[in-house]
Amino acid sequence: MSDFRPAHLPSRSAACAAVVGAALLLSSCATAGKPAPPRPPSPAASPSPAATPLPFPALVPLPASVRVGEGAPFPVTSATTIFIQSADPRAVFAAEFLAGLLTTVGPVGPSVTRMGAAIPEGSVVLSLDGDPAAGEEAYDLNVTATGVTLKASSPAGLFYAVQTLRQILPPILEHDAARPRPIAIPQVKIADRPRFAWRGAMLDVARHFFGVEDVKRYLDLLALHKMNRLHLHLSDDQGFRIEIKSWPNLTAMGARTEVGGTVGGSYTQEQYKEIVAYARERFIDVVPEIDMPGHTNAALASYPELNCDGVAPPLYTDIKVGFSCLCVADERTYVFMDDVIREIAALTPGAFFHVGGDEVKKLADTDYAQFINRAQDIVERHGKRMIGWDEVALASLHPASVVQHWRPGTQLSKVAANGSKLIMSPANRAYLDMQYDTSSYLGLFWAGRIEIRDSYSWDPATLMEGVGEDSILGVEAPLWTETLATIREVESMAFPRLAAIAEIGWSPQAARDWDDFKLRLGGQGPRWQAMGVNFYRSPQVPWKP
């Protein structure tokens, strides 16, 4: 492969230039018919796209190793066959996913063939004979003039190989109204694996409710960025959002409203299962959170017996925090917790259950710690590992339990020394609900204003003294929805910052660089636009038109 060069060095090859030119031409078509951005930067503030070289390949997250070839690109037409060398349904899903992206390369898309014995030249081949030592999520992707191979040791790796290939394809393919046209894929050779096991996003469906289709949309966007956890914040003061069969009032009453007093909503258990299954197909585990003992007004309003005075408070539609608390001295509270955790755990294949534990202002530390210890026992009895926000460090945590760091400046080295792992979500870097700057009209700013460069420029392994790489399970970007009522508003806060957190979770720290990232990020613009993503056109990024 001596004709492959490291990525980002400009190519002089005519063939490559033709493809890049075609990609540019196609991506400009993709802008047609899409809604206007929420807040376009002023031309003066924006780096000129014309002056910036088009990086190839513009991949986010950056793979561990990329080499670009100089030879002729690989043509994909209706006659191309995609071979999947495995009967594993999850591997077949990855192949079908790729075929789905290529349906408009001709009058019909490429066909998918299982277990081809003799593979003709000019094929796309997915196989599971990658090196298991590289890890379950690792993959190799090779595009030459005569074929494409995607190789991994597990279906997850194949799925990530497909997502990488996807970012090399012309963005127009993502457009619902794309017309049939042949494409050609430039030569490239990629060997890749993630830095962290946990690459998460959190969606708060309690402050404003988001239905199944909205959650699936968010999952689609996570998958594109190789994220593998969706943490659903399912309950808070303003709403309880999942059906619990043994406590039906939690949703009959507790899901009626949301912030601002509009009509709320909740998932039936069948709908929750549908979300879990959709996520799982895309190699994303759903992590359910039932926040306790605080942030519980919706539950307290639904059942008087959960209140120490036996009186149910009214439903709450404002956004202040810290006023509600389950009655920790009453055994009925633990029956409630056991039922809720049991029912949700039974619907959740992932290993974790999040108990919240944040912002409890009504309890002494000892009572709080005792409560979390009991929550931990209940979670484990139902076969899961407990996660809690920063504050749960006050309890006697088992090494299998995980702490999610959120308050900037908190010291959690003792937790790490005790063997528990951490998920890093520092609010002043990773919170997607913080405003971008003073002209943002959505979002909060208690942890600061976070432009894309701020969300990118930090390393989880040097954030906290005594908490190194080995103690860190990964990163997560929480999106709280006090100010966000629609999925388009959610997208405008999540993008582009979610892509920055995805890269922190996936790419080797030594290879990460803001000046390089902003070019590759700018290259995502046409794809996101073709997908109808309502992203914030940060003036810090040279967005490709």
- Beta carbon nearer to ligand TNX, 192 or 289: 289
Bridge partners of residue 354, in order along the sequence: 289, 387
Least distance CB 275 / ligand TNX (angstroms)? 21
Are 272 and 242 in contact, with CB atoms under 8 Å apart? yes
**What are 540's two structure tokens?**
């810090």
3-state secondary structure string across 458-508: CCHHHCCCCCCHHHEEEEEEEECCCCCCCHHHHHHHHCCHHHHHHHHHHCC
Q: How many H-runs (helices) and E-runs (strands) does the chain carry?
A: 16, 19
Least distance CB 204 / ligand TNX (angstroms)? 6
- Beta carbon nearer to ligand TNX, 319 or 511: 319
Are 352 and 387 in contact, with CB atoms under 8 Å apart? yes
Site string for ligand TNX, 372-401 (x = CB under 6 A): -----------------x------------
Judged by CB under 6 A, the residue of 305, 330, 339, 359 near ligand TNX is: 359
Distance, CA of 475 to CA of 512 (rounded, Å) = 15
Judged by CB under 6 A, the residue of 56, 160, 368, 406 near ligand TNX is: 406
Q: Which of 70, 305, 359, 489 is catalytic?
A: 359
According to CB under 6 A, which residues from 449 to 488 bind ligand TNX?
480, 482
Site string for ligand TNX, 87-116 (x = CB under 6 A): ------------------------------
Distance, CA of 379 to CA of 386 (rounded, Å) = 6
Least distance CB 379 / ligand TNX (angstroms)? 18
Judged by CB under 6 A, the residue of 433, 451, 476, 503 near ligand TNX is: 433
Least distance CB 48 / ligand TNX (angstroms)? 35
Judged by CB under 6 A, the residue of 285, 343, 358, 451 near ligand TNX is: 358
391 is catalytic: no
- Beta carbon nearer to ligand TNX, 243 or 358: 358
The count of other CB atoms within 10 Å of the CB of residue 87 is: 9
16 closest CA partner among 189, 168, 185, 190: 185
Least distance CB 213 / ligand TNX (angstroms)? 23
Alpha helices (H) along 234-364: 249-252, 269-281, 297-302, 331-347
**What are 463's two structure tokens?**
């954030």
Phi then psi for residue 236, to 5 deg, are: -165, -170
Judged by CB under 6 A, the residue of 54, 394, 444, 461 near ligand TNX is: 444
- Beta carbon nearer to ligand TNX, 174 or 482: 482
- Beta carbon nearer to ligand TNX, 94 or 292: 292
3-state secondary structure string across 279-291: HHHCCCEEEEEEE
Look up tokens 């929550």; give the residue: 375
- Beta carbon nearer to ligand TNX, 125 or 393: 393
Least distance CB 480 / ligand TNX (angstroms)? 3
Distance, CA of 178 to CA of 116 (rounded, Å) = 30
198 is an interface residue for ligand TNX by CB under 6 A: no
Distance, CA of 487 to CA of 200 (rounded, Å) = 18
According to CB under 6 A, which residues from 304 to 333 bind ligand TNX?
321
- Beta carbon nearer to ligand TNX, 296 or 420: 296
Residues with catalytic function? 359
Which parts of this chain interact with ligand TNX (CB under 6 A)? 321, 358-359, 389, 406, 431, 433, 444, 480, 482
